[in-house]
Amino acid sequence: MRGIHSVVDDIRKSVFEEVARLAYEGGDYSRIDKIPYKIVPGEVAKYRSNVFLERAIVTERLRLACGLPLRPAEEYGPASDGIEEANIPEKYYEPPLINVIKFACNACPPKEIRVSSNCQGCLSHPCQAVCPKGAIVIRDGKSSIDQSKCIKCGKCLNQCPYDAISRIERPCAKACGMDAIGSDEMGRAQIDYNKCVSCGMCLVNCPFGAIADKSQIFQLIQAIKSGTEVIAIMAPAFVNQFGKEATPAKLRKAMRVLGFSDTVEVAIGADLCTIEEAHDFLDKVPEKQPFMATSCCPAWSVMAKKLFPEFSDYISMALTPMVITARLIKKDHPEAKIVFVGPCAAKKLEASRRSVRSDVDFVLTFEELQGMFAAKDIDFAALQPDECDKDFSDGTGAGRGFAVGGGVAAAVVDYIKKIDPEREVNIEYGDGLRECRKMLLMAKAGKRNGYLLEGMGCIGGCVAGAGTIAPVASAAAGIRAYKDAAEKKHADESSFAGRLEEATKE
């Protein structure tokens, strides 16, 4: 589903745009009660059984976008309930971050192997022959599966000469690399928050738009309107997210139109992260620990600590690029509020950790930022940057490459080679949480000793995060071109390299 524009995308965009417009305009915020009628006009439903259900779902999405809690269907109330509590210039996420709007859920069936009407009742019955559990029986000459015996191995599926057997699986559960999604008593999706790492893959893979995360748009705009200096730090994955016309210079101008004091490239933090992780690897592997894992993806690192706690100390202790960049900016602007703008839902929870709160005040996804641009009617094709709106030039090619899968390890190994040209470093990249789990199972078996392991919670890297807008292939191509265009190629060439100790000191 990623990269295919849908009505679910339109609804999400409309919600973020209207919440941003509401916050910018100010006044009586009970006006939010009218927004569901604006997004879902008329008397006839377009997508669901009735227009009232459509508006009820939009109402809960509006509340989540304001950082308010999700309400069950039996709890009646207008969208504006508690809106004044959200009308503050600072608010961290109250768990859970990722929410299932139950009355929007289709109650999709769990994983199941099914025989369709395409079954021709062939004489050989290869499906029955390969079933290891005897789950396939022949009724009226055609195959049927006893679900109580089926183990979902798919052997029958692969053997059917008519492609009459298929696997059906709830899309959100299929996308979840943590197997955190089950069913409630009514068959609707239910998240096990003890397993969830807030990667947001369920959110962007639900075709019914029943899963949504909370946002800080409302509070961020209150901070901007209060006159506080608010500085945005932009993740390298921004390239192509807002269209070809959104050059770095135009993006800087657009951010000033929104009210940001300045916009800084997070690639500078990625460069410092590269340097720190390279030194960590050389210092610890293999003398002190068998392997080292990268730290920049919060979904990956939290997954590793949850499922493989024995490896907690093997994950690099380097601060993430987001945190390093925020600390550098706070050193120079101690009174400023820092907003990380990126592709990732999990960064929202990373920023809410007590150890990070003083450095990162808000987290926005690219999708949420797009809502702010829409609320201010920003047209990048017509926008003209001012002289002060120069292109980003601070990050090196190595730091910019963090946005795509394999980019972190490539940058670290590149710097290791500069320190110790004779050192051979084996690397492995886990593309998505399921592959990350397999990678750590191999490490547990002792087959990744001496390795640098890079894990990414989203398949393709940050460019495939839950908060992205552009198709993954287009975004990745843009990153490669942006990386190649960097004046400085290696992390140690960064003008901020001398500030690593300052950035990592509490």
In the chain, the domains with their CATH numbers are: 7-107+173-214 (no CATH), 112-168 (3.30.70.20), 220-499 (no CATH)
Tens digit of pLDDT for each residue in 56-111?
999 999 999 999 999 988 888 899 999 988 898 887 778 899 999 999 999 998 88
DSSP 315: B
User: What is the model's pLDDT at position 94?
Assistant: 82
Q: What is the pLDDT of residue 504?
A: 81
Dig out the tokens for 399 from the structure: 């730091």
Given this model, what pLDDT does residue 3 score? 67
Q: What per-residue confidence (pLDDT) applies to 326?
A: 96
Indicate the pairing of strand 362-365 with strand 337-342.
parallel
pLDDT of residue 1: 57
For residues 258 and 289, what is the distance between their CA atoms, to the nearest angstrom?
47
pLDDT for 2:
66
Output the pLDDT for position 503.
83
> Is residue 2 exposed (0-12), middle (13-18) or buried (19+ Cβ within 10 Å)?
middle
pLDDT for res 357: 78
User: Which positions of the chain have pLDDT values less than 70?
Assistant: 1-3, 506
For residue 272, the model assigns a pLDDT of 97
d(CA 218, CA 64): 10
Question: The tokens 């997508």 sit on which residue?
Answer: 47
The 10s digit of each residue's pLDDT in 142-186 is 999 999 999 999 999 999 999 999 999 999 999 999 999 999 999
